[in-house]
Chains A and B, each alone.
Chain A
């Protein structure tokens, strides 16, 4: 079975802190994604990556950056956390971004105070 793990289930950070969210997948998938999920808004794509060191902006990249140094690991970085970045963050991976299933991690509930 595909396994996608995220570094933390719950995280509390202060405004202005630099925050790292890490995601690791064990199925050698080419493509990895970061979403945030807010009540009433559904999942919104922040960034995705289709290869090592490659990244593409999603729908809401402002305030975020990403890093993919190794195929299995995709990190989301909040350079200076703000309260409006309080959300559930979900990482996903897939073999083919268009046709194949996305496998999601358990999510990280981030609270910025």
Chain B
């Protein structure tokens, strides 16, 4: 069964600090991996999408990495801001059979001033 596991479940950091969120998946065959940011009370919004051949992709202060061999991805946030407080969801899509993406349960990030 396809699964996406995220860690940590929650994280509290001080404004200005860096942090890294982890995503491990067992989805196969792999098509792509996306990171979404979901602000409280809002729908998720895509941050990055990574395909098999991509190792690193940046979107401003967000940098996602992908290791397709170990089936791991990380989302690194640099110089955190209060507006980074949100839930970050890892979503993996398969290229075979089911076209429904598999969602992780998310990491809740709180940035304190």
Which chain A residues border B91 with CB–CB below 8 Å?
Answer: 102
Asked if A24 CB lies within 8 Å of chain B CBs, one says no
* Chain A residue at minimal CB-CB distance from B45: A104
A99 and B32 contact, Cβ closer than 8 Å, known pairs A4-B43, A104-B44, A105-B43: yes
Give the A-B pair count, Cβ closer than 8 A. 50
Q: State A97–B32 Cα separation when bound (angstroms).
A: 12
State how many angstroms separate the Cβ of B49 from the closest Cβ of chain A. 6
Asked if B57 CB lies within 8 Å of chain A CBs, one says no
Asked if A52 CB lies within 8 Å of chain B CBs, one says no
Asked if A45 CB lies within 8 Å of chain B CBs, one says yes
Asked if A48 CB lies within 8 Å of chain B CBs, one says yes
State how many angstroms separate the Cβ of A29 from the closest Cβ of chain B. 14
B43 is contacted by which of A58, A90, A98, A99 (Cβ under 8 Å)? A90
Q: State A90–B41 Cα separation when bound (angstroms).
A: 11
Asked if B72 CB lies within 8 Å of chain A CBs, one says no
Please give the number of chain B residues whose Cβ is less than 8 angstroms from any Cβ of chain A in the complex. 22
Interface residues of B in 9-65 (CB under 8 A from A): 31-32, 34, 41-46, 49
Q: State A90–B93 Cα separation when bound (angstroms).
A: 19
Q: State A40–B105 Cα separation when bound (angstroms).
A: 7
Q: State A43–B87 Cα separation when bound (angstroms).
A: 12
B49 is contacted by which of A40, A41, A101, A109 (Cβ under 8 Å)? A101
Residues of A within 8 A of B (CB): 4, 40-45, 48, 58, 90, 92, 96-99, 101-102, 104-107, 109
Listed A/B pairs (25) with beta-carbon separation below 8 Å: A40-B105, A42-B89, A42-B103, A42-B104, A42-B105, A42-B106, A43-B103, A58-B100, A92-B43, A97-B99, A97-B101, A98-B93, A98-B94, A98-B99, A99-B31, A101-B34, A101-B49, A102-B46, A102-B101, A104-B44, A104-B45, A105-B43, A106-B42, A107-B41, A109-B41
Residues of B within 8 A of A (CB): 31-32, 34, 41-46, 49, 89, 91, 93-95, 99-101, 103-106
